[in-house]
Amino acid sequence: MKIKVRMKMIKYLLSFSLFLSLLFAENINTIQEDTIEDSIVEPKVDCLILEDENSIICKFELNRQLEDEQIVVQWIAPNGEISRSRDLIIPPGHGSIYDYRYIDGREPGQWIFKVIYKEKEYTTQFELK
C-alpha cells in the first residue's frame, strides 16, 4: 500500500514539475528579436593610454561576421614612419580586435593608430608626452 502511495506521489510531482517548467519556459521566438540589422555598428577605432600599466591599448570594432575578416593594423610614429604593421584575422563571430604597445621606448608626440579594413582606412590619434 505504501509503495502505491509513493508511486502516485512521484507521478504527481513529476507531472507538476513538467507543468511548471513548461509554464515558465521562455519561447525564443517571443523574446525581443535583435536582428543583425538592428545591431549594426559602424567600424571604429579607439585607443586608451594606461600610464600606470605602461601600456597603450587600441581597439578596432566592427559588426560580427560569419567568416574570417582580414585587417591591417598600423602604428604610425610622430615622424610619419610606420612603427609597426601587422596583418590580423578577426575570427567568425567576433566583433573587435585589440592591439597594444608599451609606452616605454615610444617617441613623444602625436601617434596615429590606423586599421585598413576592406580597402577603407579607420584612424585615431593619441599623444604621448
Mean pLDDT of 2-13: 76
For residue 108, is it within any domain?
yes
CB 82 within 8 A of CB 59: no
Output the nine-digit C-alpha cell for 44: 571604429
Q: Please tell me the total count of domains within the chain.
A: 1
pTM score over 0.75: no
pLDDT band at 1; cut points 50, 70, 90: low
Averaged pLDDT of the chain: 84
For residue 90, is it within any domain?
yes
Q: Which domain holds residue 70?
A: 44-128
Give 18-70 pLDDT, tens digit per residue: 776 767 776 555 545 454 455 677 889 999 999 999 999 999 998 888 888 89
pLDDT for 50 equals 93
Output the nine-digit C-alpha cell for 81: 614612419
For residue 18, is it within any domain?
no
pLDDT for 29 equals 52
For residue 23, is it within any domain?
no
**Per-residue CA distances from 13 to 1, 2, 8, 23, 25 (Å):** 19, 16, 9, 15, 18
Beta bridge partners of 113: 75, 124
Greater confidence (85 vs 33) lies with 85
For residue 9, is it within any domain?
no
For residue 63, is it within any domain?
yes
CATH number for 55:
2.60.40.3080
pLDDT band at 93; cut points 50, 70, 90: confident
For residue 120, is it within any domain?
yes
For residue 49, is it within any domain?
yes
